[in-house]
């Protein structure tokens, strides 16, 4: 029996479900060899931390080229991405709307299909977007025998592709519901976002017998403060204004790999939102004419 869509949802409960689903979706087995660090692991956000831009948008561009959905669909997704990024809206209504549309473009497609095209899309749209500095940090952890996990709101299938291509341990991502290998267009719980990421990390720490105080976490966004605050070694990578201030106040490490950083972004938020969205639509129109 389906629920009335107007019925209030327990967002905390859905965050817990999303985090647990992300953790359980990972099937990496830990081979405990003598050189492996059994107490620490590193957890990296993806968007603007490991990779320039939003991985879900890079994925959407690749799927659009393959006729998974229309130009109007991707234009709407572009607007939502830029609005979320620059306006920083975090109210429950916005999150609910994002959830209702997130991953809808893969409805009716198979898991195998997304995994296969994901490999191609990584080469086309993502490989050249990897921040060398953050990639080097991840390698530093691997060289010390520590597991390195990606933790992202992107679909777990594409997150696993990114992790595999970078030689990392695995990925925790948003879990899309599928029946008999075909996506339904719904999510398991919420997107892996905010508190859900902390839940997913905590599940991995518990499962692998790690020590939170020995673990590391990296992100660019204040949305990830729950995950960053729970480990003993948080680090802000290319941080937004709120995260930079929080990191400075708490003595966290800060690394910024961007060049030509924009000044006084806060005073121009409205112009940035309008300009970015308009630019995205113009780009998509050019794509349609090709």
> Which residues are known catalytic residues?
45, 47
Cα separations (Å) of 225 from 6, 39, 257?
30, 22, 20
The residue written with tokens 């790690």 in the block is 210
Phi, psi values for residue 179, rounded to 5°: -120, 125
Non-local CB neighbours of 64 within 8 Å, separated by 6+ positions: 71, 73, 74, 284, 287
DSSP H helical segments within the chain, as ranges? 11-25, 55-65, 71-87, 92-101, 111-121, 132-143, 156-166, 195-208, 225-230, 241-250, 269-289
- From the list 11, 76, 42, 62, the residue with the least C-alpha distance to 227 is 42
Separation CA 50–CA 159 (nearest Å): 11
Non-local CB neighbours of 15 within 8 Å, separated by 6+ positions: 189, 190, 194, 195, 196, 199
Paired strand residues for 237: 255
The residue written with tokens 């209030």 in the block is 8
- From the list 169, 187, 168, the residue with the least C-alpha distance to 177 is 187
H-helix or E-strand spanning residue 46: none
Max Cα–Cα distance, the chain, nearest Å? 58
Contact 78, 277 (CB under 8 A): yes
Do you know the residue count of the chain? 290
């Amino acid at each position: 029996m389906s629920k009335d869509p107007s019925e209030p949802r327990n967002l905390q409960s859905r965050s817990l479900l999303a985090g647990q689903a992300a953790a359980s979706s990972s099937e990496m087995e830990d081979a405990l060899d003598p050189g492996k660090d059994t107490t620490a692991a590193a957890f990296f956000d993806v968007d603007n931390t490991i990779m320039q831009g939003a991985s879900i948008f890079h994925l959407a561009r690749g799927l659009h080229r393959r006729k998974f959905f229309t130009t109007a669909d991707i234009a709407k997704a572009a607007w939502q991405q830029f609005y979320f990024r620059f306006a920083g809206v975090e109210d429950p209504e916005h999150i609910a709307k994002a959830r209702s549309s997130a991953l809808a473009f893969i409805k009716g497609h198979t898991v195998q299909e997304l995994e296969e095209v994901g490999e191609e899309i990584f080469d086309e749209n993502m490989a050249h977007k990897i921040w060398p500095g953050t990639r080097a940090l991840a390698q530093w952890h691997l060289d010390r025998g520590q597991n390195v996990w990606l933790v992202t709101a992107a679909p777990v299938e594409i997150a696993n592709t990114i992790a595999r291509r970078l030689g990392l341990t695995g990925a925790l991502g948003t879990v899309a519901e599928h029946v008999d290998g075909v996506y339904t267009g719904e999510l398991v719980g919420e997107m892996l976002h905010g508190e859900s990421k902390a839940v997913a990390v905590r599940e991995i720490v518990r499962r692998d017998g790690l020590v939170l105080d020995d673990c590391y976490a990296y992100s660019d966004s204040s949305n990830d403060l729950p995950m960053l605050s729970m480990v003993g070694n948080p680090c802000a990578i290319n941080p937004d204004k709120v995260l930079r201030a929080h990191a400075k106040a708490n003595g966290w490490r800060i690394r910024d790999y961007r060049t030509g950083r924009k000044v006084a972004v806060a005073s121009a938020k409205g112009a940035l939102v309008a300009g970015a969205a308009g630019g995205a639509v113009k780009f998509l129109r050019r794509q349609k004419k090709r």
